[in-house]
Amino acid sequence: MYFCSKYKNWEHMTTSIDIARRIAEVNHPLSRESVHALAEILVCRKYRKGEIVLQAGEVCKSMLFIEKGMLRQFYYKYDKDLTEHIGYENGVIICIESYFKQEPTRLMVETLEASVVWELPRVEVEKLIDQYHDIERLYRGFIEHSLIESQVKADTLRFEPAHERYNKLLQTSSRDIEACASCVHRFLITDDSRNLEPCPFFLALELINQS
């Protein structure tokens, strides 16, 4: 067990045990032994707003559990910066193809506000799932959720206009996106025909530092 500390001016006393318990509460119950085993492999990272967590061309080696803050996955297409996914507190970020194939990703991950993130290293997680059946079920739940989420996104892109996608984001999000003072960019979705469809609700997903 350890405390997460990187920047001295951040007050943060959450331990790896606390986070392992939270992961279990949010996703799948774990035994006391499994909680402690999971806590042993967690790696805490702290980021300021606008920092890059994963660059395009790097290999995704960990799932990222968000204790605090907001992150996005994004990519560039036809010279446009396009948001793929937004993650909030108690959510998980994973570049799933890169994670399983251990090949460079085309996605990038950045913080949209100051964030505390806990890494679950793939190599260490796979060791645990061979030893603890409840951690195996927890892991399977992470992957199932990610795959279902990807399918839902694909369906919304096929069948729903931009304003419906944006409204759905507001309804399902645990965060008040419209209240973010630094939300200044439009949420853009593109398809292979190069048609860019801006969300008419112009305060959307990309947060940039104005200070």
Tokens of 20: 């392992």
Tokens of 85: 């996914």
Tens of pLDDT, residue by residue over 18-27, are: 999 999 998 8
**What is the average pLDDT value for the chain, to the nearest integer?**
79
Read off the pLDDT of each residue in 133-151 and give the average, rounded to a whole number.
Answer: 87
State residue 13's pLDDT score: 74
Tens of pLDDT, residue by residue over 72-115, are: 999 998 888 888 888 989 999 999 999 999 999 999 999 999 99
Tokens of 35: 């909680």
Residue 16: other Cβ atoms inside 10 A? 21
State residue 81's pLDDT score: 87
Confidence check: pLDDT of 134 > 90 = yes
State residue 67's pLDDT score: 96
State residue 31's pLDDT score: 97
Tens of pLDDT, residue by residue over 5-54, are: 544 445 557 899 999 999 999 889 999 999 999 999 999 999 999 999 99
Read off the pLDDT of each residue in 163-180 and give the average, rounded to a whole number.
Answer: 58
For residue 172, with 0-12 CB atoms within 10 Å meaning exposed, 13-18 middle and 19 or more buried, which class applies? exposed
Bigger pLDDT: 198 or 82? 82
DSSP code at position 147:
H
State residue 165's pLDDT score: 61
Confidence check: pLDDT of 119 > 60 = yes
The distance from CA 110 to its chain's CA centroid, rounded to whole angstroms, is 9
Residue located via tokens 């606008």: 50
Tens of pLDDT, residue by residue over 182-192, are: 333 333 343 44
The alpha-helical segments, DSSP class H, found in 11-114 are 16-26, 32-41, 96-101
State residue 45's pLDDT score: 97
Bigger pLDDT: 59 or 199? 59
